[in-house]
Structure 1
């Protein structure tokens, strides 16, 4: 049921973005951004111990467009391939599986620039959407969770249309409450008793290309 709900949220976000792009003026302000970096994570306390997600490189892409001077709307995807294990209450660490973590977000970027000709300036960002956890090489199910991000960084134009974007971002919260996680035909990998929060952060950089005027 939750998987269907989160997939519907992603579909609705996608349709909203398509409707916003339904004008020539919007297409004239499109910015395409590809990036890579490093993503770190907190442990998740569960009934059996602590789930550990290893820090690993990440990657992603974004599509943004200007809605006002200094303000952009952005459609964002962040992906990471990593490994998860369970540190049990008896102190023994149990390997679980490799896992893909994917964020699908719709958000906004505010640029702190004094005029349109400024070549370097800071920015802040906020987004919301859903995160998909996909176990690899196992019989466990995917997990979808609501998520939001906060971040900030800098943009540095190398030419009129091409620039470098550097940023740090907090990816949170992905909340689990009284549920089993990564369940398959032989049971669940972990069970949350009352409440648990999974927090990640990433540090990324990449090239953006501005289309149109």
Structure 2
């Protein structure tokens, strides 16, 4: 995962090197709100899962190239360590409950549109994000571990208050969604390899926070 992130950063570096006006390092810290998810993929046999992703701290960083005064492109990584209390049922296991340990990693490319305030030390922005989410799931009941990589997208908006020419304070709200075309990617079983979930369910994570912005050039 770290190698993939570094490769994406280097790709943006070489592709935008001749056009970049500013190179910025963004450091993030946000509060991510809880979200519910469910799927009933075999009603006849009463197979289902129903749970939530708990709220918690989300952190990360990104490297951004501001091509001109209005457009920037960022490659970023976000991480959240949380829990997922889930109720599920499948083949012989009825109404099981497990509080899974869940690690969520987003790797995203995020173009943004900037708006300059007349004062000069305030920037507003709005952006979209697209990439992948890598989820690491651990079942404390039996020690089983699994992970899945899915498509992800998001939107964000906020502002940057520049305290100096090189350091600014960013405040933003964002919405991230993991499109879980699960297809057996997660396992909610309590014995053996567990039961693969073959269904569709999307997760939406809304967060509020911000961070620091450093101009590197």
10 and 163 in structure 1: CA distance in 2 versus 1, 3 angstrom threshold: closer
TM-score, structure 2 as length reference: 0.80
Match of 1:43 among 32, 36, 45: 36
The CA RMSD over aligned residues, in Å, is 3.0
Q: CA deviation at 1:16?
A: 3.0
Q: CA deviation at 1:101?
A: 0.2
Q: CA deviation at 1:12?
A: 6.9
Larger mean CA deviation between 39-48 and 77-86 belongs to 39-48
Quote the residue 2:186 is aligned against. Answer: 181
* 1:140-176 CA distance string (max 9 Å, x none): 2211101011010011001111110010001024232
Distance 2:214 2:182 in 1: 41
Confirm or deny that 1:18 pairs with 2:13: yes
* 1:39-66 CA distance string (max 9 Å, x none): 1242221232312111111111111011
Quote the residue 2:171 is aligned against. Answer: 166
Partner of 1:141: helix, strand, or coil?
Answer: strand
Distance 2:67 2:215 in 1: 14
Quote the residue 1:101 is aligned against. Answer: 104
- For CA contacts below 8 A with separation 6 or more, give which structure has more relative contact order: 1
Distance 1:153 1:199 in 2: 19
Distance 1:9 1:162 in 2: 28
Distance 2:54 2:151 in 1: 21
Q: Tell whether the 8 Å contact from 1:9 to 1:129 is kept in structure 2 after alignment.
A: no
Q: Tell whether the 8 Å contact from 2:148 to 2:185 is kept in structure 1 after alignment.
A: no
Q: Tell whether the 8 Å contact from 1:41 to 1:198 is kept in structure 2 after alignment.
A: no
Quote the residue 1:206 is aligned against. Answer: 211
Distance 1:164 1:7 in 2: 26
Distance 1:50 1:79 in 2: 23
The aligned length equals 203
TM-score, structure 1 as length reference: 0.81
Q: Tell whether the 8 Å contact from 2:24 to 2:63 is kept in structure 1 after alignment.
A: yes
159 and 15 in structure 1: CA distance in 2 versus 1, 3 angstrom threshold: closer
93 and 186 in structure 1: CA distance in 2 versus 1, 3 angstrom threshold: closer
Quote the residue 2:79 is aligned against. Answer: 79
Partner of 1:20: helix, strand, or coil?
Answer: helix
Which ranges of structure 2 fall in alignment gaps of 5 or more residues? 41-47
